[in-house]
Amino acid sequence: MMSIMRKTSTNDRAAAKQATHERIVSVAARAIRRSGYGGTGVADIMKEAGLTHGAFYAHFASREAMLAEAASKACAESAAAVADMVAKAAPAMALESMLSAYLSKAHVQLVEQGCPLAALGSETARQAPEVRRVATQHIKAMVDLIARQSPDWGQAGAHEQALVTLSTMVGSLLLARAVDDPALSDSLREAALNHLVPPTAQATPGA
């Protein structure tokens, strides 16, 4: 009986620690999209997670390790949202639905929950290798997902077109968020959407 109680207690502590770890990573995943890698400090993350600064090293070997996990979490959330959207759309409309949502005004405003590539792309080149590796894997996955929606999937041109599509999506969203002129912000994303999906083919016009 004593052995069972000790094992249960150990399991409970491990589960509690894992839950705390996941809470920190979730907070950090939002913070890096909101404030960038450079603006995300350990003390602020731990405070937002309701923990002391000293508890940080019980969960991460370094700030870079936390940033890598946060980036992975942000990328996973973004990829899951896109994949869910594609799965719910009619096959012929999947790409159009994804582009309309990505290049929408709502996505421009939802920085904390939005695409980490647009939120962090300009900073990523200066991050630690483990952070850049996460971004690289996410970019490859997104290119593959976009290419799979093409009627030319399997041909060389589909991959190249997916590269152009992703670059246009991310660049347009980044610029739409950067400017302080709402009309210009709208024009940037709408022009990109009209280029990628002609207005007559758009699934959700006026997004």
Q: Could you report the per-residue pLDDT of 116-138, keeping only the tens digit for each? A: 999 998 899 999 999 999 999 99
CA Rg value for the chain: 20
Q: Which residues of 6-26 are buried (b: 16+ CB within 10 A; e: fewer)?
A: eeeeeeeeeeeeeebbeebbe
On the CB side of 183, how many CA atoms lie within 13 Å of its CA? 0
**47 within some domain:** yes
Look up the pTM and report it: 0.83
pLDDT at 204: 44
Q: What interhelical angle do 2-35 and 116-124 show, nearest 10?
A: 80
Is residue 162, in this structure, part of any structural domain at all? yes
Domain of residue 55, residue span:
2-201
The answer to whether 37 and 64 are in contact (CB under 8 A) is no
| Domains: count for the chain | 1
- What is the pLDDT at residue 177? 96
Report the CATH number at residue 31.
Answer: 1.10.357.10
Asked, for residue 44, whether it belongs to a domain, the answer is yes
Q: Name the 3-class secondary structure at 157.
A: helix
The 10 Å CB-count burial string (b at 16+, else e) for 105-121 is eebbeebebbbbbbbbb
Mean pLDDT by 10 residues, the chain (207 residues): 62 85 96 95 95 93 95 94 88 90 95 94 92 96 92 86 96 97 97 82 43
Measuring CA to CA, which residue among 130, 121, 93 is closest to residue 205? 93
The reported pLDDT for the residue numbered 199 is 59
The three-point CA angle 148-110-125 to 5° equals 65
Two structure tokens written together for 110: 């939802």
Mind listing the pLDDT tens digit for each residue in 79-113?
999 988 888 888 888 999 999 999 999 999 999 99
**Has residue 207 been placed in a domain?**
no
CA-nearest of 15, 44, 14 to 28 is 44
122 domain-assigned: yes
pLDDT number for residue 142: 95
For residue 1, what pLDDT is reported?
60
Report if residue 32 sits inside a domain.
yes
**57 within domain boundaries:** yes
The pLDDT value given to residue 155? 82
The answer to whether residue 188 is domain-embedded is yes
DSSP code, position 49: T
